Amino acid sequence: MSYLFTSESVSEGHPDKVSDQISDALVDNFLAFDKDSKVACETLVTTGQVVLAGEVKSKTYLDVQKIARDVINKIGYTKSEYMFDGNSCGVFSAIHEQSQDINQGVDRDTKEEQGAGDQGMMFGYATNETENFMPLALDLSHKILEELALLRRENNEITYLRPDSKSQVTIEYTDDNVPFRIKDIVVSTQHDQFLENDDEMLAKIKSDIINILIPRVIAKLPASIQALFNDNIVYHVNPTGKFVIGGPHGDTGLTGRKIIVDTYGGKGAHGGGAFSGKDPSKVDRSAAYATRHIAKNLVAAGVADEILIQVSYAIGVVEPMGIYVNTYGTANVDLADGEIAEIVSSIFDMRPSAIEERLKLRQPMYLESAAYGHMGRKNEIVTKTFKNMNGNEDKTIEVELFTWEKLDYVSKVKEAFKL
């Protein structure tokens, strides 16, 4: 019997994502000037106010107020009528030095003996139902909002958009777990009060979403996914009515409150730890990236059509407690999941320092991950410039983004599994 599965996404202007991006901009700036920085920064945003808090151990000094304001302005909160804009909001910093009690379990004389920055379990997931090995409902939800943000910045075809928005997609699957059709699409977007009559205004927004946004999204999809769109899709556009008041003025935002949007949209599993605002010594982040890297390479190599990887750590301990594998009965090798896990352990070194080195995680690479998902993104090299607050020259760095999305271990996996 067929079944339904739903995932959601939120835009870069959603209050929680504003917080995530500020926190990750701080991480990037610390790493740009001191790659050994230890950072755990949380951000709260509300009407006219930003609060920064957390722990840092670093040799560099940052103008955290300017960094926060630059992020807010880049997102698009630049007008006073939003009741939150980068030029006028207050920025309060309560960032202090990292606890030595925590640091002693992480820093060691030999980098290879670096302990995990915390206890906990992390999950990685991959499926072959999309080209980027991500769950389809989440992938489409992200793409809808990325395209909506492009329309907002172009300010041409649609001229009334504000930064805050959300999407949700419901997919119908066949009983053998194959996406069959798209059943529902939800889009809620903040907007100007551009017509006096609310009913006429909402009708215009719904028409533009269906007739301008969705065709642009479809045009960028592979033919196999385009075929899932149909005339029977139910569209819910701003279903509660007008959405003029939004962003941090409409809803307080906090770092780390969209962890399912950040990962797999409810597919697979989640260990509970957020990513943004943390340097890679925090295994909440680095090991989640490492398990995604493993899962994606295993599915791409043909070990299974769908796979979940779990790894767990104890704070200050070098080796993980263990690795768990679940192929959901889709394995293409004649091995039990426990046997697959043993082979995975022999291919991938899961010590914290090895993960940092393998995935190049000491780069200032994290701001780009803080909206539209950390997984399923494009691995590419970009040039980034960071402003130096110490009176020295600015720093321009080539940075490789989303290294955990590389399929660089497929040949090793095939060799190990005799594929």
| 274 assigned ligand-binding residue | yes
Q: Say what percent of the chain tops pLDDT 70.
A: 95
CA pseudo-torsion sign 394, 395, 396, 401: negative
Per-residue pLDDT, 100: 61
**Does residue 302 have a pLDDT over 60?**
yes
E strand residue ranges, 29-74? 38-46, 49-57
Query: Where do the domains of the chain lie, and which CATH numbers do they carry?
Result: 3-11+136-246 (3.30.300.10), 15-99 (3.30.300.10), 120-127+257-417 (3.30.300.10)
Among 116-120, 289-293, 306-310, name the one with the lowest average pLDDT: 116-120
DSSP 313-367: E-BT-SS-SEEEEE-TT-BSSSS-HHHHHHHHHHHS--SHHHHHHHTTTTSS--G
Place of tokens 């909506």: 148
| 282 assigned ligand-binding residue | yes
**Does residue 115 have a pLDDT over 80?**
no
| 296 assigned ligand-binding residue | no
Per-residue pLDDT, 114: 78
What the block records as the tokens of 335 is 């091995």
| 395 assigned ligand-binding residue | no
Per-residue pLDDT, 317: 86
What the block records as the tokens of 42 is 């949380």
Q: Rounded to a whole number, what is the distance in angstroms from the first to the last CA of the chain? A: 33
Per-residue pLDDT, 392: 67
Cβ proximity of 128 and 135 under 8 Å = no
| 12 assigned ligand-binding residue | no
Q: 26-51, pLDDT tens digit by residue?
A: 999 999 999 999 999 999 999 999 99
What is the number of H-type helices and E-type strands within the chain? 13, 13
* pLDDT tier for residue 99 given thresholds of 50, 70 and 90: low
Beta bridge partners of 45: 50, 253
Per-residue pLDDT, 305: 98
What the block records as the tokens of 154 is 């172009």
| 278 assigned ligand-binding residue | yes
**Does residue 103 have a pLDDT over 70?**
no
Cβ proximity of 86 and 70 under 8 Å = yes
Per-residue pLDDT, 212: 98
Per-residue pLDDT, 156: 96
Total Cβ atoms within 10 A of residue 215 = 11
Over residues 179-204, mean pLDDT: 97
Residue among 332, 337, 306 nearest 173 (CA): 306
The arrangement of strands across the sheet holding 3-10 comes to: 3-10, 161-173, 179-191, 234-237
Per-residue pLDDT, 168: 98
Per-residue pLDDT, 316: 85
Q: Report d(CA 265, CA 245) in Å as an integer.
A: 26
What the block records as the tokens of 397 is 């760095």
**Does residue 154 have a pLDDT over 90?**
yes
| 14 assigned ligand-binding residue | yes
| 258 assigned ligand-binding residue | yes
Among 91-100, 239-248, 262-271, 297-306, name the one with the lowest average pLDDT: 91-100
What the block records as the tokens of 37 is 């920085």
| 200 assigned ligand-binding residue | no
* CA–centroid distance for 23 within its chain: 13
Per-residue pLDDT, 107: 59
* pLDDT tier for residue 389 given thresholds of 50, 70 and 90: confident
**pTM to 2 decimal places:** 0.95
| 166 assigned ligand-binding residue | yes
| 38 assigned ligand-binding residue | no
Q: Quick one: 360 exposed, middle or buried, by C-beta within 10 A (0-12, 13-18, 19+)? A: middle
Place of tokens 């070194």: 349
| 204 assigned ligand-binding residue | no
* pLDDT tier for residue 109 given thresholds of 50, 70 and 90: low
| 242 assigned ligand-binding residue | yes
Over residues 157-167, mean pLDDT: 98
**Does residue 112 have a pLDDT over 80?**
no
